[in-house]
Structure 1
Amino acid sequence: MDVRTPNRLPFHRLPVFPVLLLQLIVLGLAAILLWLCRGSVAGYSGLCGGLIAWLPNLYFAHKAFRFSGARAAQAIVRSFYAGEAGKLVFTAVLFALTFAGVKPLDALAVFGVFVLTQLVNWFAPLLIGRKFSRP
C-alpha cells in the first residue's frame, strides 16, 4: 500500500468522534440555556462561540486522522501539524468574521461558550482512553 493513500476509517469510528459529539452537545445545551436565561442575542452569540471552537476541531479531526498504520508514521505527523496549523487559522478567521459580521453580539456569551466547548478537550483522555486500554 502506498503511504500517500489515506487509510480512512468511517468518521464515526475515529477515536476522536466521542469528543466531537460531546462538544456539539455541550455547545448546543449552553446556547439553549443562554437563549432561555439571557435572551436571543446571548443565545445565538453563544452558538457562534461554540461553533468557533467546534468547527476547527472538526477540521483538525478530519485532517489529522487521515492516515493509520506504522508505515504512515511520517504522514501522520505531517497531517497532525497541518491540521493544528489549519485549526488555528480557521479559529482566528471565525472569530474575525463573527465580530465583524454578527450584530448585535454578546461578547461574554461568545467567549464563555467557546471556553466551555474547549474544556471538553481536557476530558478527552477519559472518553478516548477507556476504549483503547482494554485488551
Structure 2
Amino acid sequence: MTAQHTLRPVFTETFPPTMDAGALYVSISYRTCGHLCCCGCGHEVITPLSPKQWTLTFDGENVSLAPSIGNWSLPCQSHYWIRDGRVRWSRPYSAAEIDQNRACDRNLLAPETPLPASEPTSKFRRWLRSRRLWIPGRSP
C-alpha cells in the first residue's frame, strides 16, 4: 500500500469487513471513525468520538478530526492530522514524548472523583470568607 494524502468521508452505520485505503468511515450512531493508517502500513485506526477524545467536523464535503492521530501502538508510529480531508504529517515523536502524550491521555480519560457534597473546597471556602458569607464552624 502507498501513503494516503487525502481521505474521503464515508458515512455508514457500521464499518465494512475490509476498509478501503483513502476512506474515513464515520459512524454517527456508534460515535466512531475508522480508516486505514495513512502511512500505508495497512493497520486499521479507530478513533472514538467524544469531547475527551476526538471531535469530527464536517463542512458538507470534507471532514477534519481533532486532535492529531498518533499511532503509537503500531509499528509505524505514524503521526498526522486530518484537516479538510487532507492528511498533514506531523514530526516523529521521541519515546519520551510518546510516554508523556499517553500519560496526558490517561489523565484526561480518568474518571473524575466528585468532591464530598458536605464539604466545600478550600478555594471555595476562602472565597466565601472573603465575602463574609461563611463563618468557620457554621455550615455554608
**By percentage of residues, which structure has more strand?**
2
Higher helix fraction (1 or 2): 1
State the structure with more CA Rg. 2
For the criterion TM > 0.5, the same-fold answer is no
Which range, TM-score by smaller chain?
Answer: under 0.3
